[in-house]
Structure 1
Amino acid sequence: MSRLASPAALAAGAHGGVNGVALAVFVFFFLAVTVMGFLAARWRNAEQSASLDEWGLGGRSFGTWITWFLLGGDLYTAYTFVAVPAAIYAAGASGFFAVPYTILVYPLIFTFLPRLWSVSHKHGYVTTSDFVRGRFGSKGLSLAMALTGILATMPYIALQLVGIQAVLDVMGVGGGEHTNWFVKDLPLLIAFAVLAAYTYSSGLRAPALIAFVKDGLIYLVLAVAIIYIPAKLGGFGHIFDAAGKALAQPGAVPGKPRGELASGPHNQWAYATLALGSALALFMYPHSITATLSSRSRNVIRRNTTILPLYSLILGFLALLGFMAVKAGTDIQGNPQLAVPQLFEDMFPSWFAGVAFAAIGIGALVPAAIMSIAAANLFTRNVYKDFLRPEATAEQEHKVAKLVSLLLKFGALAFVLTMDKTVAINFQLLGGIWILQTMPALVGGLFTRWFHRWALLLGWAVGMVYGTLAAYGVASPTQAHFGGPSAEIPGIGEIGYIGLTAFVLNVAVAVVFTFALKAAKAPEGTDETSPADYTADLGDAEATATDLPPAAAEAPAGR
């Protein structure tokens, strides 16, 4: 079955002895992409300048294929490879909410992302907060959007680091539960150092290059896993039968089953609200917008909304790994996040387990880099320049963004070191609750200026306070707050997904107070945009050469 002498030894080895072959393969790929990250600083070096556009948006020059890989690497993260199968392993069908929400999201973004690209390109906006400030003439509302984006990004970066730690734990690196905290969390510190170094050096070009390797590894591992593992386990019929029986057993909540193979009537509202709320939130995240604005034309955005759903198919297959881990009797040592890494360790030969672990590790590095860049862009443009140093030059913005990208990772580490990692999907859901509160100002502003800037700010505040307090009140058997029992998907309140409920309150307050403020003739601020700005395109004369990594293409003369 594997390299170790017995199942007992195998389980012990995952958290005791080191799997040397798998670790060597993992380190090889990890070092390779790290080198790529540093070399990315020289990609099209003649065109680079010390500016936020170049460091934080890759010069706004990426074509269809680079944008596709960048967005895929950005949106399909360690959350996809680790947290979703872990939720399905622990709770069953409710964990599949991630599949329909990634299907719902693309028709939604087709309606507004091209408009955002056009107006941002016209006015040089780097962040969504730049747009909100220009649209509503409100630095206060812009600041609220920026701080929310930074806050929501922290737990999402943390989730990527949890994915890396889960892989290293399975390979026997990092120590056990009784190891001192520094040794136990050393993998996180190493991941932090690697991320910090190449992100600081190369900006968005680094994850853009590494995304090609990351996605290639994921495609390879998934293609093997969905054929090889079911064959060893007797087929999907046996897998679903075993999962159904296991999920019907008592779980962490007394008197309740561990989960369901198929979602029952009492879970349908929670499932639907969680899927819809997550779909609305996904492209509100700063890293999603950063990858979008890095493209060279609005046609690139439209094309990507039609081909990105291919990743949803991949996500569906990845989710099934949770059921495979149930059938295989995977020993997770009380931590569902180890389900997929341990399944790979048990089922694959050492060398291919190392390839699979590298896919997960690199799948965490790419989005974590983009997230830290996006959050740094927000701080630099909408806190530093708007409030601390309005006269800052492009070069000063560039330097501040690079420094802040380092500092923000400390915040992500704080999430990892202080919160319960056994239900890591909480990290993403908590960020979703917060970032969803920026949608009325962003998407509403792209289509209408009817909302009053102060009403939007008040609605944002109500949504943030309610969402945070409601999420704080969710407990788990291991954590008093911001938790969620493993037999349920966390982030769900009595009336559905907390983030969506907070969003509805947000919109209701914004509508009511817009009427009131307009009646009182409160000043509405100056709109620096015009209707034509939202549909303008500079054309789509894309050169195939610039749509490939540097190994396969030469830099063009200019944009």
Structure 2
Amino acid sequence: MPSASDHVTELVVFTLLFLLVSGMGFAAARWRRAESLDHLDEWGLGGRNFGTWITWFLLGGDLYTAYTFVAVPALVFASGAIGFYAVPYTILIYPMAFLVMTRLWSVSYRHGYVTPADFVRGRFGSPTLALLVAITGIVATMPYIALQLIGIEAVLKVMGVTGHLPIVIAFLILAVYTYSSGLRAPALIAFVKDTLIYLVIIVAVIVIPYKLGGWDVIFGSAETALGQTNPNTGAPKGSILLNANNQLQYITLALGSALALFLYPHSLTSVLAAKNRDTIKKNMSALPAYSFLLGLIALLGYMAIAAGIKPIGKDTNTIVPSLFDQMFPDWFAGVCYAAIGIGALVPASIMSIAAANLFTRNVYKEYLKKDATPAQEAATSKITSLVVKVGAVLVILFLDPQFAIDLQLIGGVLILQTLPSVALGVYTRWLHPWALSTGLIAGLAVGIGMLYQIPNPNNGKEHFGGSAYRLSLAGFDTDKQIYVGFVAVLANLIVAVLLTLVLRRAGAPDTPDATRPGDYTVDRSPDAPPPAASGEPAAVAGD
């Protein structure tokens, strides 16, 4: 086990950079200062006034998390080619998001929607469906926040820091500056986070292969190591090429993950904070640059194999920090650790804000205090964001970190079930809200039921052992696997479509639609102030 006394330089560099971004978090309350943050548009969406560059860094900081930095290479390290699913899925998503997010931004700006459940409530006139979407979003987001802590914890382990006190302190600081600055804090910190990560990865893919003897050595070592027999399964540990049994899993995992990415509340929060449609369009065109970065990050898994890196204990999340520790001088390893640690703060902050907004708008205001003022909404959301962060810390303190990973695995399957009401809803409301609610519940049941059946021989778990479902478990004579979320959302859609046909045929009453066709293409008038600042309905181009 590493000792902190052997990593003094890394600890000093890590701490200084961490304190720097914490100071920026508090200063963000005065950055692009609004008259008051006592409004969800200001505290939770930064005044809906972020331009192209700020949104680019915010979305990048939001979507590419500390857990991505450590988990994707860890998967490549353990299994090989299947870990690269993250690269095509982050390429596939942006054309699809281009078609959906511009319309969702417009209708949300026009009607003052803050959450995806707000949109569903207005579009389908169903508080029940909106509540289901809100609860699904909150449940899917909570473990995702906890996983950011796991990224920080992996770095601290490599530096020899044990115990949970440093993580608790880090998240207390995060909680305070998020409470005071809202979305402006992660937006400002994202500049530092993304710059550090680009710097670290560019240096890593140049220096580490040079020290290891070149890419032929790296891939050769990976092929040899992954070809060894896994004693728990009797099969090879993995491979640097896909095989006949995991190709279907790879395709469905990439597609399913792509469909889910912008359904997460924190992703939509960053989108709704943009100042106009053009900002969304430019970002959907430019964000694939991060996919190139992600491909380089994934290669760190193969570099770790060639370097002979061993996980600390059984924690494969320590692979990347350990690689940096071995390959770089102490001062630059400290910069690398800070990149991962700061990479946890940005998404964790946005996630807590998004979950808090969902509770405030779609539970508190809808069911507990219908006449809540904007100031009361903002106050409730601030307090809820604190509660969410405390919950994430408690998960790390009292639960096995592997359980948090399992919860996040379930979360990805859960959030995918909001696709028919949110993503399809911006184009059509043909699907009946009763059918959408039933389909969502059916998709959740199918997804959780399939996940329950999946064992993990490597750690002895009989249930919730992964997202790759062997078709033989369903009675098929094959060893092929498929991504659970993909099957669950198909079940969701089938139920929603069939039940809609039945309800339409039976003459079931429809619900009111608060939106109009023109709402989905409106843009902000160039001279219009933020909606919260004006106190009037959103001013749009052409009004």
Conserved 8 A contact 1:337-1:424: no
Alignment correspondent of 1:155:
143
Pair 1:418–1:502, CA change in 2 (3 A): farther
The C-alpha deviation readout for 1:43-73, integer Å capped at 9, x for no partner, is 1224434101100000000000000000000
- Quick one: which of 493, 499, 502 aligns to 2:488? 502
SS in 1 for 2:161: coil
1:264 Cα shift? Answer: 1.1
Distance in structure 2 (CA, Å) of the matches to 1:36 and 1:475: 44
CA distance in structure 1 between the aligned counterparts of 2:463 and 2:8, rounded to whole angstroms: 37
Give me the whole-angstrom Cα distance separating, in 2, the residues matched to 1:310 and 1:427: 29
Whether 1:120 and 2:108 are equivalent positions in the alignment is yes
Distance 1:534 1:243 in 2: 49
* Aligned length, in residue pairs: 519
Which stretch shows the higher mean deviation, 420-429 or 225-234?
420-429
Q: Deviations over 1:430-482 (max 9, x none)?
A: 22101000010011211111000000000000111221222233232436366
2:4 maps to 1:24: no
**Could you tell me how far apart the structure 2 residues matched to 1:409 and 1:479 are?**
31
Residue 419 of structure 1: how far off its partner (Å)? 5.3
2:205 is aligned with 1:229:
no
Moved more, 89-98 or 534-543: 534-543
Deviations 1:269-306 (CA, angstroms, capped at 9, x unpaired): 01101000000000000000000000000110011000
Written as runs of structure 1 = structure 2, the 5 A alignment for 1:196-211 is 196-211=175-190
Q: 1:523 aligns with which of 504, 509, 529?
A: 509
In terms of mean alpha carbon deviation, does 333-342 or 61-70 score higher? 333-342
Aligned partner of 1:390 in structure 2 is: 370
Show the counterpart of 1:167: 155
How far did 1:523 drift? 1.8
**Displaced runs of 4+ in structure 1, greater than 4 A?**
15-18, 417-420, 422-428, 539-543
CA shift for structure 1 position 204: 0.2
Q: Deviations over 1:492-535 (max 9, x none)?
A: 11241111111000000000111111122222211010000001
* Corresponding residue for residue 41 of structure 1: 29
Structure 1 Cα separation of the partners of residues 240 and 374 of structure 2: 54
- Structure 1 unpaired stretches of 5+: 1-11, 175-183, 485-489, 547-559
Report the counterpart of residue 140 of structure 1 in structure 2.
Answer: 128
Flag the 1:145–1:481 CA change in 2: closer, same or farther, 3 A: farther
Look up the match of 2:218. 239
Contact 2:34 2:42 in 1 (8 A): no
Q: Which amino acid aligns with 1:454?
A: W
Q: Could you tell me whether the CA contact under 8 Å between 1:164 and 1:187 is conserved in 2? A: no
**Cα distance in 2, alignment partners of residues 479 and 308 from structure 1:** 39
User: Secondary structure, in 3 states, of the residue corresponding to 1:265?
Assistant: coil
Q: What per-residue deviation string (whole Å, max 9, x for no partner) do you get for residues 71-103 of structure 1?
A: 000001113210100110111110111011000
Tell me how far apart the structure 2 counterparts of residues 282 and 129 of structure 1 sit (CA, whole Å).
16
Question: SS of the residue aligned with 1:62?
Answer: coil
Who is 2:164 aligned against? 185
Identity %: 56
Contact 2:395 2:404 in 1 (8 A): no
Number of the residue aligned with 1:353? 333
Deviation at 1:423? Answer: 8.9
User: Does the C-alpha gap of structure 1 residues 237 and 425 become closer, same or farther in structure 2, counting only changes over 3 Å?
Assistant: farther
Structure 1's 26 and 483: CA in aligned 2 closer, same or farther, altered over 3 A? farther
Secondary structure of the residue that 2:319 maps to in structure 1? Answer: helix
Q: Does the residue aligned with 1:45 lie in a helix, a strand or coil? A: coil
Where does residue 555 of structure 1 map in the other structure?
none
Q: What letter matches 1:447 in structure 2? A: Y
The one-letter code of the counterpart of 2:189 is I
Correspondence for 2:447 among 459, 463, 467? 467
Name the amino acid aligned to 2:453.
G
Provide closer, same or farther for how the CA distance between residues 416 and 276 of structure 1 changes in structure 2, counting only shifts above 3 A: farther
C-alpha separation between the residues in 2 aligned to 1:201 and 1:154?
A: 21
Correspondence list, 1:424-439, <5 A = 426=406, 428-439=408-419
Measured after TM superposition, the shift of residue 417 of structure 1 is 4.5
Residue type of the partner of 2:111? Answer: H
Q: C-alpha deviations, 1:190-228, integer Å up to 9, x for none?
A: 332122111111110000000000001011111110000
Deviations 1:139-165 (A, max 9, x none): 000000000000000121111110000
Q: TM-score, normalised by structure 2?
A: 0.92
Pick from 48, 69, 73: which aligns with 2:61? Answer: 73
Structure 2 unaligned segments of length 5 or more: list them: 472-481, 531-543
Partner of 2:193: 214
Post-superposition Cα deviations, 1:393-430, rounded to whole Å, max 9, x if no partner, equal 00000100000001112332344346553597645432
* Counterpart selection for 2:342 from 336, 350, 362: 362
CA distance in 2, matches of 1:288, 1:55: 16
SS at match of 2:509: coil
Over 3 Å counting, the alpha-carbon distance change for 1:378 and 1:424 in structure 2 is closer
Q: Is the 8 A contact 1:18 1:173 kept in 2?
A: no
**Hey, what does 2:461 align to over in structure 1?**
480
TM-fit CA distance, 1:541:
7.1
